[in-house]
Chains A and B, each alone.
Chain A
Amino acid sequence: MRTVDAGAWREEWAAARAAGAHYFDFLTAVDRGDRLEVVAHAVDLGTMDRVLLGTSVPTRGGRLDSISPLFAGAAWHEREAAEMFGITFAGHPDPRPLLLRASEGAPPLLKSTVLAARVAVAWPGAAEPEVRDDGRRTGNPSRRRQRPPGAPDDWLEEGP
């Protein structure tokens, strides 16, 4: 993958298309923490040469020029990336949400977005076999309470 400047994203794709990469394959994004990596792939069907370009935008309020005016097929991919990662694609011909009912709420594929199901449901692993019915622990009382694996430390605070 060749990494390009976010500001040169559309020009790079215009050049790739002019060079023969007419077939748009995909566009997607990856949450790398403080940056979102945006990747797109196109193919020259005559030579089967592939073009894989990547760029990065800030995780919050990221903006990128839309390449849908170059590749009509990119429109859906950009709409999906927009609602899932919160990226704004400037110059998109039809920026309506693609899969989600409304654009409100946190973009679901950002790693900082907490799954609603993980908040609404108590973690079954919080139960301790060594806590007796009277509330006294028979095990080592200094042991730290268990937390769900992979859950960030600052959410799923203990209930009553």
Chain B
Amino acid sequence: MSADLPAPSQARGVIGLVASACTSCMICVRECPTWCITLDSHTEQVDEPGARRPRSVNVLDAFAIDYGLCMYCGICVEVCPFEALFWSPEYEYSEVRIADLLHDKTRLGQWFETVPDFEPLEAGSEVKVKKVPR
């Protein structure tokens, strides 16, 4: 972030992904009004000691947000039931080529590193339960 122009910590700059928290449930992809999120996953059978049958686990193969389409509504961040998506105030990622606005899983994971802790809200307002995983 530019040192002379810091954005407020709760600004909607870019969305960060915690890939390990994502269960590939597709809710963010389906709720996105601009269809800017793509997700690819596959199911693996995991044998667990003591379990009678192997458990099916969704493995996230690819996750991308096209910032050329995103309208920064934040619905994906709101609907994620597994706290895998977070707003970061970082905003400097303009590109010469529009195709480069497609941020993949790795890049979105890097953005998550820039997510600040939530600031305490004003007295009397509802306590935000979402906690930034560290």
Contact = CB atoms under 8 A, between A and B. Distances in A.
B46 to A, nearest CB: 12
A155 to B, nearest CB: 15
B26 A129 contact: yes
B26 A148 contact: no
B88 interface: no
A121 B35 contact: yes
Given A125-B26, A138-B56, A148-B30, A132 B37 contact: no
A129 B28 CA distance: 13
Interface string B51-93: 0000010100000000000000000000000000000000000
Contacts, number: 41
Contacts of B56: 130, 138
Contact of A124 (B24, B29, B42, B58): B29
A157 B41 CA distance: 23
A59 B40 CA distance: 41
Contacts of A150: 33
B110 interface: no
A16 B40 CA distance: 60
Interface size class of A (residues with CB under 8 A): 10 to 19
B87 to A, nearest CB: 21
Given A121-B35, A124-B35, A124-B37, A132 B43 contact: yes
A159 to B, nearest CB: 15
Contacts of B31: 149
Nearest to B34: A117
A127 B42 contact: no
B35 A138 contact: no
